[in-house]
Structure 1
Amino acid sequence: MEYYQKVIIDILNASVNNKNIVFNEENGIDWNEVIREAKQHKISSLIYSAVDKDSLKYIDDNILAEWKKDIFKDNVTQIRHINNISQLVNNLNKQGIEIILLKGLVLRELYPRPEYRTMSDADILVKSKDYLVLEDHLIKNGYECDKENHPVHKCFMCSDHSLIEVHWKLINDSYFNGYTEKFENDVWKKSIEFNISGAKCKTLCDEDLLIHMCLHMAVHAKYRGFGLRQLYDVAIFVKNKNIDWVSFCSRISVYGISKFTKGIFEILNQIFDLNIPKDILKNQYISQQEIQLLLNNILASGVHGQKEEIVGFNISYKDRSDESYSKYNVKRLFKFIFPTRAELSYRYEYAKENVLLLPIAWIHHAIRGVFIRKYGFVKMIKYYLATLDVINRRKEIIKIFEL
């Protein structure tokens, strides 16, 4: 762990425990790195709000002014986002469409200020029988439905509004070895009332919400990683809620994420001083080396799991049992150098229209990579190797934590 990352964790620890943290010049903090990392994990407002204001004098005035401006813009965007979702909920209530708000829409109420919990989309759950009615309502109100076929949700986009991810199912079964059907069946029966800026709706009960967070992190750990914001979500939730740990542990064992959840809780105990009961998942042994591996992956991932990956290399990792991993990496590299027609950008439209021109597009693509693009050939190789390191680490995590 780098020093600036330790500083960020110390600041988040103070925030979780509703304190401000004081720094002085002797701390030798590289605030450029701290601010950059905070932006990567989408926690800038959290970091700024938990630092004692006298400590900010050690940041260059221009850097501080730019940071404040970015935070202000983020906060305004999030307030607008909350208001948009509140209006949507009110409209759905008038039509008798029942929904459950998920993840950040609910967790933000536990943050020092709701707008500090940044979101680029809104996740809602609807009953299967109501999905088409909800889809029709969104389309009539200016939203477009993403054409991508996903087994558990659809995305809806509208200008000047946040993306809305409508779930009819919470868990993508292809990611888990455990039995999650009962979880899906019971969430509506156990859902509780929730209020978002005056609009009444529902959310998951506390235990289900915590389980859903853990399941969601497990998906991201397997698929593309997750960052410090998700850890803070769990920390602030556990800090403010009374969880029936016996019931919780019994259920996540059924869902097949016991060891992974144990790893997350070990990290939370260590970096946020949460004092989650030590006998939680006590039958799952995890070494400190494995804990560090998981934490390093979280630090390296950023909020959406791709901080150390670049476009072109970040083809989603899939655990493959039918061939060696090294062969799969060679295929990834080959696919990057020789993309298919569908994967080529608008710049290579000529090859999309005529397959015979595809080899010319590959040469064009290679020349741009070596001589024109800002990272050049050397950096391209460097980024590719860094990405492979991230993916190899992810593969190890999948094996260790039985995902």
Structure 2
Amino acid sequence: MEHNTVSFIALLSSHLKQSQIHPSHMEQIDYERLYTLGKIHSVSGMLYMSLKAQRQLGDIPESLEQAWKQDFVSTISRAALQQQEMQKVIECFNNHQMKHVLFKGYALKDIYPTPDMRTMGDIDILIQSSDRQRSHAMLEAIGYKATYTAGNVWTYVRGAVQLEIHDHLISRNFNDQADYRDYYNDAWKYAVKKSQQGFTYQFTENDHLIYLFVHMAKHFYSTGCGIRMFMDIAALIQRDHNPLNWPYIQAQLRILKLDIFANHVLDLCQRWFDVTLPITILKMNERFYEQISEYIYSAGVFGYYRRDGYVAMLRTLGAKRKQEHTGLRTIRTYWSICFPSYRTLSGMAAYSFLKNRPLFLPLAWGLRAARSLLYRWKRTWRLLLGVVTSKKEYDRQDKLLEELGL
């Protein structure tokens, strides 16, 4: 692993553990490269704090230090705004006596040494399906605008704050190894009240950790995932109270066919963040460790940075077609691109007229084709070519993910 990446991990680990790092990690750093890694993984503010704690700011070029400081200030400001908004949202849910579960970033940030530094693009809340319309009306009443209202995840925006309101934890299975949607069909059995009063819930720490593995696997299977998801797992394991029930966790991961994947994730958490585990895990070989580490670092927080976006689309569309002949799989992929499902199109603002009118689907296909050919023909052509030209990268990633346990 190249030196700047090693320094990047060492600085993040020192932030999690609130400790000093070995001086060798701070030698001959390319601070431009380090800054880029922080930006694409959404941990720029955290890196700034760690560099400050290590007394390294004096070595950074002044213009870069100012940019880093601005990222730090922006991270604090965004966190304060999200916290202010979430207090209103939670209060509103409780006033309407509407049960809700806080999970992922917003529920995990308080286990970090500096919660404001655990950034999040959106805030996830689970509700009961029967409360969908009540929740929708409530959020609109307090100033949130709905931007997507199809399927199991509806999104809302108010200023710089975005909410994802789920009525199921898993909307669809991302591969054919296990039925993740069925496993989480009644996710409320994994939730407990945050306090005796009110309607705010959270997942038990054991079940939240299991879900983090599932969520990470989903992102790996799509575009990828960055260092922040590993930090979430490391922080949850290293917190100071309530030891985790590892026999239960391991049993559930076997049911979900994610035990091999989780083993690799925990190995990385041990190597990167010096996580102490009460269980024995298998070490990956150094060749694979270097490959998967580069795969994670190179593409940022959700795997989008300088990575072929068509590969993720091919994997998503062909998740259950690995045994098909390549030509047939390609034809099916083209069909999925040219003729999206009713569920997919009805969730798009441009085709909102489809909602509750599935018979209009052929009309929507025609309208979409006309728009693509008349106004977005270059993008459409690149998309259709990408299905073929991305095959080599698709095969490379597929082999890597298979070794990862996916």
Query: TM-score normalized by structure 2?
Result: 0.78
- Indicate if the aligned counterparts of 1:25 and 1:58 stay in contact, CA closer than 8 A: no
Unaligned ranges ≥5, structure 2: 351-365
Give the CA RMSD over aligned residues: 3.9
Unaligned ranges ≥5, structure 1: 346-350, 370-379
Q: Which residue of the partner structure matches residue 47 of structure 1?
A: 47
Query: TM-score normalized by structure 1?
Result: 0.79
Q: Which residue of the partner structure matches residue 156 of structure 1?
A: 156
Distance 1:290 1:22, change over 3 A: closer
1:277-292 mapped onto 2 (5 Å cutoff): 277-280=278-281, 286-292=284-290
Q: Return the letter of the residue paired with 2:191.
A: S
User: Which whole-Å deviations, capped at 9, do the CAs of 1:240-287 have from their partners, x for residues lacking one?
Assistant: 05211111101110111111101101111112111323425x6xx854
Q: Partner of 1:108: helix, strand, or coil?
A: helix
2:141 aligned with 1:135, yes or no?
A: no
Q: Which residue of the partner structure matches residue 94 of structure 2?
A: 93
2:400 aligned with 1:397, yes or no?
A: yes
2:236 aligned with 1:233, yes or no?
A: no
Give 1:91 deviation, angstroms: 1.0
1:181-220 mapped onto 2 (5 Å cutoff): 183-184=183-184, 187-194=187-194, 201-220=200-219
Residue 304 of structure 1, aligned match among 302, 305, 319: 302
Q: Which residue of the partner structure matches residue 363 of structure 2?
A: none
Give 1:53 deviation, angstroms: 4.8
Q: Which residue of the partner structure matches residue 10 of structure 2?
A: 10
Give 1:115 deviation, angstroms: 1.1
Distance 1:63 1:364, change over 3 A: closer
Q: Which residue of the partner structure matches residue 293 of structure 1?
A: 291
Distance 1:311 1:390, change over 3 A: closer
Distance 1:79 1:252, change over 3 A: same
User: Which whole-Å deviations, capped at 9, do the CAs of 1:320-370 have from their partners, x for residues lacking one?
Assistant: 42655699789999x99x9x9x99x9xxxxx9899599489647998xx9x
Q: Return the letter of the residue paired with 1:50.
A: S
Q: Following the alignment from structure 1 to structure 2, what is the Cα–Cα distance between the partners of residues 332 and 46? A: 41
1:4-403 mapped onto 2 (5 Å cutoff): 4-21=4-21, 23=23, 27-51=27-51, 52-147=53-148, 149-150=150-151, 152-158=152-158, 160-176=159-175, 177-180=177-180, 183-184=183-184, 187-194=187-194, 201-240=200-239, 242-280=243-281, 286-309=284-307, 315=313, 317-318=315-316, 319=319, 320-321=321-322, 323=324, 355=370, 358=373, 362=377, 391-403=394-406
User: Which whole-Å deviations, capped at 9, do the CAs of 1:187-234 have from their partners, x for residues lacking one?
Assistant: 424423438xx9972210000110110000000011110000111111
Q: Following the alignment from structure 2 to structure 1, what is the Cα–Cα distance between the partners of residues 375 and 202? A: 53
**Aligned length in residues:** 373
Distance 1:92 1:6, change over 3 A: same
Q: Partner of 2:124: helix, strand, or coil?
A: strand
Which is worse superposed, 254-263 or 13-22? 13-22
Which is worse superposed, 72-81 or 309-318? 309-318
Q: Following the alignment from structure 1 to structure 2, what is the Cα–Cα distance between the partners of residues 356 and 77? A: 37
Q: Partner of 1:171: helix, strand, or coil?
A: coil
